[in-house]
Chain A
């Protein structure tokens, strides 16, 4: 019964989303305040129905209901409870349901958080969110219903994809999706502003916390995804420029541009049409990202669904949502005007360059991701674009971006007064250059110019981010959460830059063939292979190797990498043996059995890799910290004078 109940709940949710979209958009347009007021119950009802659907599918997974096709295909009676819960988003249909559920959560949060906003404006925001939700629900019900049954039910399920049987799986897709979906809120605020035909600084102040929250989740999700692939995929790669990774990275780059552009719109009333465009593009990229992976238009290790009929439905949906938003933009944006000007060295111009460079970086990634598709459309030979393209192309806009950040953070709004700040800029630059050079030449050795640049920039950004907060503390001024959050996020970026530089420049990696008792010397460490023994897991059997690691004769650790075979799907998985020592990973993974007790293994020493996860986490934390600033709460409570009172008629264009 439960699957049918879930199916029915989703149908009701579809109807409610339709009502939410209709009341939210038509109500304010026709000046009908009863319709405006009806959006809130529609939001609440839709949330309850979607949550019921999620609950029903979860229950089917937990109770081993293999009569449900999706459950049978993605779980098994030997699968532990934790993974039966996570299996819900292990494939296409469930991922979509998760998307819809998170959208319902965000929508509910917006409805609750916007009670003090002008009702017609918040109704429009909810209306736009209703359109998105309606599209997703329709797509799910028509092409990807997770509640379909199989008759007769099979005795057991196929099992969850073993790659996904990892704690990282349980956490990273929901958090990543929370970020993806959160960009819908920024999009909805942009849509509401365009429908209303008004965009002021108060609008930016309402939109900022939502956008920053979505950005923080996206940051967290990408980091967890990278961490997951590093530890689970077994070969120590943390970023492969895979289409799926790019799909999450492009919205992140645009969202990063958006939070900075919103800051300018908020503080100075500038960049208005640009901010609107970024809000639309950010969400469009997250939609395209969601679907690029799911529709089979690009080949990727992650894509589990290749179905052209779904692809066409997706395309129609993209045209409806993005096409109409961009049309609205082309119509409304020319009417927005910003009067204020600013000097070349003012913070505004630095943020303008920040935006331009971030958008260029996103365009580079986009170009590389779409190139194989474009080649195919033009009947060119198959094209594969990988790290040799992405790495240099991406560095080109990003290195100047980092340098501009380290300088621009000292600039004031409107008039830069950079001449007065020459002291801190030069001091931080000299310290950073000295530290970068010293570390590269002293600790790591080797003369890598790019390593000096990377380390120097990372340190420079960290020091520069500290100048303003320290200065305020010294002068006894209060430190607002917004400034504190910004500093933390920028320090996090500096940490990430340092970690990336170290990992990229100084990783030592070797594939070795080891017999029992053999030793391999890799990066100053000795790996001694002591032998293998079989082990049994809950739903797999494995061969576990014992590798003794020492450095200059002193024992460090014994590592136990595994090669697993999952019973039901007969697929293998690799679990690397990793020891973290002072932020450096000592890593060993098993390859193939070479016979006669010999195994091929990959040994790696990755310096400062811990900071690679810590840096982005700091960035996300900084974002969340900034959201709690009082000024956003005050902005929500301030009703603009121009807004007609509740119940009054309004003539709209």
Chain B
């Protein structure tokens, strides 16, 4: 059995040591690539909606408060609006609710809700308890409108311009930061700043 112990470095030539630095060099290179990859990851990781930059689907849904009346894209023509797809069953929607309330208080752009795949009574109790940020709430019982909008999971929030074009789509919770960074700059000054 041969035992190798640490001995004073043998009089080896320089390349002998360089050889053992090769793995480290590779690793440094890999870290550089990963760092660049992470920097760009929002473009890679986030599912981009094919709707962005295109016309929003024509939609019409019954209203939560009055199921006899329909509301949809025709009523919103010519104005900016924020469309928020939510449900009482969705924890992240609860999380963003406070932010939506703040936005509705501080800006003048209407927030339209699509209550997706939900129970009407529960939805009304929910809004009565937590406050209602929506200008109008519509209900999508069979998920048809959600499919038209390409909704992958709730919540999702769209920004639609007066020509009916989808300008931006937020997947996941709306936060004050997202609003400041993505929504407000796209809106005309008067609307974003609010009253």
- Docked Cα-Cα span, A400 to B23, in Å, equals 25
Say yes or no for B68: interface residue by CB 8 A criterion.
Answer: no
- Indicate whether A297 sits within 8 Å of B7 (C-beta atoms), given known contacts A69-B91, A154-B89: no
Contact for B44 among A73, A200, A201, A296, CB less than 8 A? A296
Contact between A373 and B24, CB atoms less than 8 A apart? no
CB closest chain-B residue, reference A339: B2
Contact between A200 and B4, CB atoms less than 8 A apart? yes
Say yes or no for A240: interface residue by CB 8 A criterion.
Answer: no
Contact between B27 and A323, CB atoms less than 8 A apart? yes
Contacts of A373 in B (CB 8 A): 33-34, 37
Contact between B38 and A197, CB atoms less than 8 A apart? no
- Docked Cα-Cα span, A303 to B45, in Å, equals 9
Say yes or no for B121: interface residue by CB 8 A criterion.
Answer: no
Contact between B42 and A308, CB atoms less than 8 A apart? yes
- Indicate whether A329 sits within 8 Å of B20 (C-beta atoms), given known contacts A197-B5, A272-B4: yes
Q: Which of B154-187 contact A (CB under 8 A)?
A: none
Contact for A198 among B5, B31, B88, CB less than 8 A? B5
Contact between B5 and A269, CB atoms less than 8 A apart? no
Say yes or no for A306: interface residue by CB 8 A criterion.
Answer: yes
Say yes or no for A281: interface residue by CB 8 A criterion.
Answer: yes
Binds B, one of A312-320, A496-504, A520-528: A312-320
Contact for A150 among B7, B35, B94, CB less than 8 A? B94
Say yes or no for A639: interface residue by CB 8 A criterion.
Answer: no
Say yes or no for B95: interface residue by CB 8 A criterion.
Answer: yes
Q: 1/0 per residue B36-66: CB within 8 Å of A?
A: 1111111011100000000000000000000
Q: 1/0 per residue B129-161: CB within 8 Å of A?
A: 000000000000001000000000100000000
Binds A, one of B10-18, B71-79, B100-108: B10-18
Say yes or no for B128: interface residue by CB 8 A criterion.
Answer: no
Shortest Cβ distance from A118 into chain B, in angstroms?
Answer: 13
Say yes or no for A364: interface residue by CB 8 A criterion.
Answer: no
Contact between B37 and A297, CB atoms less than 8 A apart? yes
Q: Which of A523-543 contact B (CB under 8 A)?
A: none
Q: Which of A171-227 contact B (CB under 8 A)?
A: 197-202
Contacts of B153 in A (CB 8 A): 158, 569
Contact between A306 and B46, CB atoms less than 8 A apart? yes
- Docked Cα-Cα span, A295 to B143, in Å, equals 31
CB closest chain-B residue, reference A156: B89
Say yes or no for A299: interface residue by CB 8 A criterion.
Answer: yes
Q: 1/0 per residue A292-328: CB within 8 Å of B?
A: 0001111100010011100110010011001100110
Say yes or no for A89: interface residue by CB 8 A criterion.
Answer: no
Say yes or no for B99: interface residue by CB 8 A criterion.
Answer: no
Shortest Cβ distance from A60 into chain B, in angstroms?
Answer: 14
CB closest chain-B residue, reference A194: B6
Contact between B9 and A335, CB atoms less than 8 A apart? yes
- Indicate whether A269 sits within 8 Å of B24 (C-beta atoms), given known contacts A155-B89, A297-B38, A303-B45: no
Say yes or no for A448: interface residue by CB 8 A criterion.
Answer: no
Q: Which of A151-170 contact B (CB under 8 A)?
A: 152, 154-158
- Docked Cα-Cα span, A642 to B2, in Å, equals 13
CB closest chain-A residue, reference B2: A269
Contact between B27 and A158, CB atoms less than 8 A apart? no
Contacts of B23 in A (CB 8 A): 277, 280-281, 326, 329-330
Contact between A311 and B3, CB atoms less than 8 A apart? no
Contact between B31 and A334, CB atoms less than 8 A apart? no
Contact between A315 and B34, CB atoms less than 8 A apart? yes
- Docked Cα-Cα span, A337 to B31, in Å, equals 30
Contact for B24 among A66, A198, A297, A326, CB less than 8 A? A326
Shortest Cβ distance from B45 into chain A, in angstroms?
Answer: 3
Say yes or no for B90: interface residue by CB 8 A criterion.
Answer: yes
Shortest Cβ distance from B117 into chain A, in angstroms?
Answer: 6
Say yes or no for A333: interface residue by CB 8 A criterion.
Answer: yes
Say yes or no for A419: interface residue by CB 8 A criterion.
Answer: no
Max chain B CB contacts within 10 Å: which of A299, A329, A570?
A: A570
Say yes or no for A473: interface residue by CB 8 A criterion.
Answer: no
- Indicate whether A273 sits within 8 Å of B10 (C-beta atoms), given known contacts A155-B88, A315-B31: no
Contacts of A385 in B (CB 8 A): none
- Indicate whether A273 sits within 8 Å of B20 (C-beta atoms), given known contacts A303-B45, A322-B27: yes
Contact between B33 and A315, CB atoms less than 8 A apart? no
Contacts of A312 in B (CB 8 A): 38
- Indicate whether A296 sits within 8 Å of B45 (C-beta atoms), given known contacts A315-B38, A335-B7, A376-B37: yes
Say yes or no for A377: interface residue by CB 8 A criterion.
Answer: yes
CB closest chain-A residue, reference B38: A311
Contacts of B20 in A (CB 8 A): 273, 329-330, 333-334
Contacts of A202 in B (CB 8 A): 1
Q: Which of A251-299 contact B (CB under 8 A)?
A: 269, 272-273, 277, 280-281, 284, 288, 295-299
The 8 closest A-B pairs by CB, nearest first: A306-B45, A296-B45, A197-B6, A311-B38, A377-B36, A269-B2, A297-B37, A326-B24
Given contacts A297-B41, A297-B45, A377-B33, 5 further A-B contacts (CB under 8 A): A303-B45, A326-B24, A330-B23, A334-B12, A376-B37
6 chain-A/chain-B pairs, Cβ below 8 angstroms: A154-B90, A199-B4, A318-B31, A334-B9, A374-B33, A376-B37
